[in-house]
Amino acid sequence: MPTDKQSWLRHPLTVLIFGSVLSATVIPWISARLNDRQLINDARLQLCKDILQKSMQNNQMLNSMNTSVNLFLKAKSFAVSAATAQREQDAELSKIDEQYHEFDKVAWWWYPGLPTEAKLLRIEVNPNADLQQQLKLYNEKLVAATDVLNGIWDLCVRQTCKASDPGVQIKLHEADGKLRNLQTERDTVTGRLVNLFAPREAKVQQLLTQSQ
């Protein structure tokens, strides 16, 4: 037979009061926790997308500048007249200058701020030392790519050469190979950065593992 205390606990009014307290406190707390987790995961995904987009943009700009340098050399070598050659060279020079200015405005600025951005978004990156190492490595590969471009730029602009010269063709081919290798290395670093910032949900981690 239930005691008076047990009867009181089972009273409909008591159950209603406890249910109201539960609904007003615990359920909103759980909901807020879930919403907060979702916001952080969304922030992680957006940051990963930004990293991929900026890295791809760097690749495209470097490739465009390399193409422009090669076109400049062809214009210098195969124009039908000196006047035509000068006009075409001036056009390519202007194009390359514009491309480099655009590259310089965006290429170096997006990745140094990733650690701070992660903290503001409350994204935990573990271990943090690995993040700094990857950012340093990405910067080194990006600097190396610009050094390669500067080398062939010096060859084409400051020295007398023709695209048909075997030695020039060899140097251009070597430069293309170096730029491709450096792009592959930067893409590898980009993939590591994405892995560091990606949501820790099992489905996302599985997709990242499959893409490697």
Whether 179 is covered by a domain: the verdict is yes
> Over the stretch 3-18, which tens digit does the pLDDT of each residue have?
555 554 555 655 556 5
Give me the number of domains the chain comprises: 1
Domain of residue 86 covers 43-211
Whether 143 is covered by a domain: the verdict is yes
Whether 23 is covered by a domain: the verdict is no
Give me the pLDDT at residue 35, please. Answer: 63
Confidence of residue 208 (pLDDT cuts 50, 70, 90): low
Whether 26 is covered by a domain: the verdict is no
Mean pLDDT of the chain: 76
Confidence of residue 189 (pLDDT cuts 50, 70, 90): very high
Give the chain as a 3 state SS string. Answer: CCCHHHHHHHCHHHHHHHHHHHHHHHHHHHHHHHHHHHHHHHHHHHHHHHHHHHHHHHHHHHHHHHHHHHHHHHHHHHCCCHHHHHHHHHHHHHHHHHHHHHHHHHCCCCCCCHHHHHHHCCCCCCCHHHHHHHHHHHHHHHHHHHHHHHHHHHHHHHCCCCCCCHHHHHHHHHHHHHHHHHHHHHHHHHHHHHHHHCCCCHHHHHHHHHHC
Whether 152 is covered by a domain: the verdict is yes
Whether 14 is covered by a domain: the verdict is no
> Over the stretch 41-67, which tens digit does the pLDDT of each residue have?
888 888 999 999 999 999 999 999 898
| C-alpha dihedral (116, 59, 62, 163), degrees to nearest 10 | 160
Whether 33 is covered by a domain: the verdict is no
Closest listed residue to residue 134, CA positions, set 181, 182, 187:
187
pTM reported for the whole predicted model = 0.74
Q: How far apart (Å, rounded) are the C-alpha atoms in residues 177 and 61?
A: 17
Query: Lowest mean pLDDT: which of 44-48, 106-110, 166-170?
Result: 166-170
Give me the pLDDT at residue 1, please. Answer: 45
